[in-house]
Amino acid sequence: MRPPNQSEKPQFGASRANLCPHKRPLDRVFQQAGEPLQHHLAPPYATIPVKRGRERDGCPKLRTVNPVIGGWSETLEDLQQRISGRFARSEARERVKRYLVGLLGRVERKNGWQLAEAIGDKDPQGVQRLLNSAKWDADLVRDDLREYVVEHLGDEESGVLITDETGFLKKGNKSVGVARQYTGTAGNTVNCQVGVFLAYASNKGAAFIDRALYLPEQWANDPKRRTEAGLPEEVAFANKVELAKRMLQRAFEVGVPARWVAADSFYGRSHEFREWLEEHGRAYAVMVPKTNAVPLGGRKEEDRAARRAVGRGCVLGGPSGGGLRPEAPLGVGVLGARRRP
């Protein structure tokens, strides 16, 4: 037998050559993903044996699994069933489950090629087809996700909605929304996409529940670029504060149980954002730069509580006259910049 040529580039999928022909590559992903899984996804019954099909061609059945991994795989199956109705074809319903496993795995760069290899595909065409041309409604899947998170993590007393943004560094200029813009990911102005996200946190855990891609004006006002990227006509420019408000509004409308809204100084320095929250009867805890004036009770006051709040970079607020309770679970050492009249 000819010894392998070390200079040859390994073929796609060659690392699985020694696997049993009927063993799914997902089993390895389950094993790798076991450690960081949240405990609420591992019910007590996860210690029971998990069936893995019949024994064929000398390939043994997997009799038992790690308790956490077993509970997680069963819960993933339930989650896939929950969203399966959003996909028109059975092929897409089956593929989305494997795609989710790939996203949750330890693939360093989650592009089409590496995800395809991680989930056992011979090329990335299936993954690309799922994202580019398969018929499914991403917003309805988002709604399913939010419902799932609230079902598992929802808590009236400790629930908090958190809005923030992050950047995704890019080298090219074809990805929708990519431009030279500031992102905290790099701490500088770089070529990137920026997404605004909404997360839900409680004493039971935390998870994302909504997202919006920021579309810079140079993209929104360029018909040729929009057409090449396949941007729908109804997608128009909206600043990041507006995107955050839209996501919060969706959460408010379906009754996500949250006592507070939290945000960093990018959103906290916006008077309009804080006033919008107050108009919706929502208490908030936001960061505000020291140089920003904070209106109190309809007028600017230089009282001691306000100086402490702004001096420490945090403002607690809520509906006018509603007051703030000191037992609120925020770990902030000052009470509200808004007082009872």
Res 289: pLDDT: 85
Res 314: pLDDT: 58
Res 275: pLDDT: 92
Q: For residues 5-16, b (16+ Cβ closer than 10 Å) or e, as one string?
A: eeeeeeeeeeee
Instruction: Kindly report whether the global pTM for this prediction surpasses the value 0.75.
Output: no
Give me the residue spans of the domains in the chain. Answer: 14-132, 157-252, 259-341
Q: How far apart, in whole angstroms, are the C-alpha atoms of residue 18 and residue 293?
A: 66
Residue 128's H or E segment, with its range, is helix 125-132
Res 71: pLDDT: 73
Q: Is the predicted pLDDT of residue 334 greater than 70, yes or no?
A: no
Res 317: pLDDT: 64
Q: Is the predicted pLDDT of residue 29 greater than 60, yes or no?
A: no
If you average pLDDT over residues 174-179, what whole number do you get?
93
Q: Is the predicted pLDDT of residue 322 greater than 60, yes or no?
A: no
Q: Is the predicted pLDDT of residue 140 greater than 90, yes or no?
A: yes
Task: Give me the residues paired with residue 161 across strands.
Answer: 200, 261
If you average pLDDT over residues 67-76, what whole number do you get?
71
Share above pLDDT 90 across residues of the chain, in percent, rounded to a whole number: 42
Q: Which residue has the tokens 């000398």?
A: 58
If you average pLDDT over residues 202-225, what whole number do you get?
95
Q: How confident is the model at residue 315 (pLDDT cuts 50, 70, 90)?
A: low
Q: Is the predicted pLDDT of residue 28 greater than 80, yes or no?
A: no
The alpha carbon dihedral of 229, 230, 235, 240 has a sign of negative
Query: Which of 213, 236, 212 is CA-nearest to residue 223?
Result: 236
Tokens (6 digits) for 94: 């089956």
Q: Are 323 and 335 in contact (CB under 8 A)?
A: no
At a CB cut-off of 8 Å and minimum separation 6, what does 190 contact? 167, 169, 180, 181, 183
Share above pLDDT 70 across residues of the chain, in percent, rounded to a whole number: 66
The alpha carbon dihedral of 21, 25, 31, 34 has a sign of negative
Query: Which of 13, 144, 5, 163 is CA-nearest to residue 79?
Result: 144
* pLDDT tens digits for range 235-288: 999 999 999 999 999 999 999 999 999 999 999 999 999 999 999 999 999 998
- Mean model confidence pLDDT for the chain: 75
